[in-house]
Chain A
């Protein structure tokens, strides 16, 4: 990495903590971030599945949408940016959303929560500047778009996340999957949701800057908790079958192609109470009705060789089918796993395909996702 590049990278508030924990810092989405700690990707991954892992995701964008007239007007304006039922999200609940463009592609995926008198949004780091501009451009009549600049974001994930966090914040034990709550800790207000991006039960916790370091250290002091870097974050979300923006979904992939139809609630579909009325409606509603031409699928390569991003996929008789968009080794699956886009006729689980790895066509099978069972506490 050149010195010039290093100077342009932003540092997280917890940078010194990551370095002191032995984090190997690499550039990611404009930030210096820990790709792994001394335990290494494999152990960090398995620790998260077996106990609890702490992730610093403070690079992500946190935004508050405060209504100018009414919450309902804000929710309806927000719905005009997404094929998602915003109005139907109850107070104290969170939902997955995606900003679409006029051609039905995905500008970003996000989480948003109904916090009674406003909406709290978390967006991807690489997209946050564009997302904030997008929301300011389209929501300004109905909302103040307020980037939250004075808070970090931590994720605590794994089967022992609840017991570890509940020692510090007892109220979390009563939360279920996708609940969102504000709970106090040592005079600071934590914004907590029972969610994450690993396929495990767990929590995402927005922490005031003034409490961020002490709260992160208090979590790391819990016997169940180990710090986890970006490397394991990626293998965990891949095993969970979750999309990484910019890889598995982007401005060319529609939510239907991406298999994210579960994120398009009935109210926004044909015949629903508020059908359509979002960017890319023509393509998205048509694909919902008729099926997309291509689909995102899970892939299980035979043997041990991973099929990584950009691996070309073929039918066994050599017809090009598409490409792998994420791929690697799944430590909990103990085998290579991948996801990618293929023509719809080849998207059924069990379909035999080939992926070209280093000039050789190797067999792979279309597989159900997630690759590793999820353990959300519903």
Chain B
């Protein structure tokens, strides 16, 4: 698993990368009540706002961690946003993104580096 400074996790699954938010981020957001997901086949650039998360406290964005194309979104989150609080690094993945070169993931944080960031 790789991590961004925006508190997203990335997991390689075949030729796509699965993206979600970390437990730290889910706890900080509080109870999630609404999620807006991108359209499948959207081509995104790193830093684009691709999802909206509304918690009982505030609205936040999820940014595209990499350049690529959205191949799949987790529609379960739309009906059950609280999955993000229950299982942020498992069932509550947000989207899958296809990238040209998986080696760009090497530049992201590993678990120890991420734990140092939030520590």
Contact = CB atoms under 8 A, between A and B. Distances in A.
B56 interface: yes
Interface in A6-43: 35-36, 40-43
A298 interface: no
A41 B59 contact: no
A305 B36 contact: yes
Interface in B16-60: 30-31, 33-34, 36, 52, 54, 56-59
A336 interface: yes
A202 interface: no
Main secondary structure of the interface of B (DSSP, over half): mixed
B34 A42 contact: no
A147 B58 CA distance: 35
B88 interface: no
Contacts of A35: 57
Nearest to A42: B31
B56 A308 contact: no
Given A329-B54, A358-B52, A304 B30 contact: no
A304 B33 contact: yes
A61 B78 CA distance: 43
B81 interface: yes
Contacts of B52: 305, 358
Given A40-B31, A305-B34, A329 B59 contact: no
A235 B57 CA distance: 9
Nearest to A334: B33
A36 B30 contact: yes
A363 interface: no
Given A231-B57, A235-B56, A41 B34 contact: no
A158 interface: no
B33 A306 contact: yes
Given A40-B30, A40-B31, A41-B30, A329 B56 contact: yes
Interface of B: 30-31, 33-34, 36, 52, 54, 56-59, 78, 81, 85
Listed from nearest, the 4 A-B pairs whose CB atoms lie closest are A42-B31, A329-B33, A41-B56, A304-B34
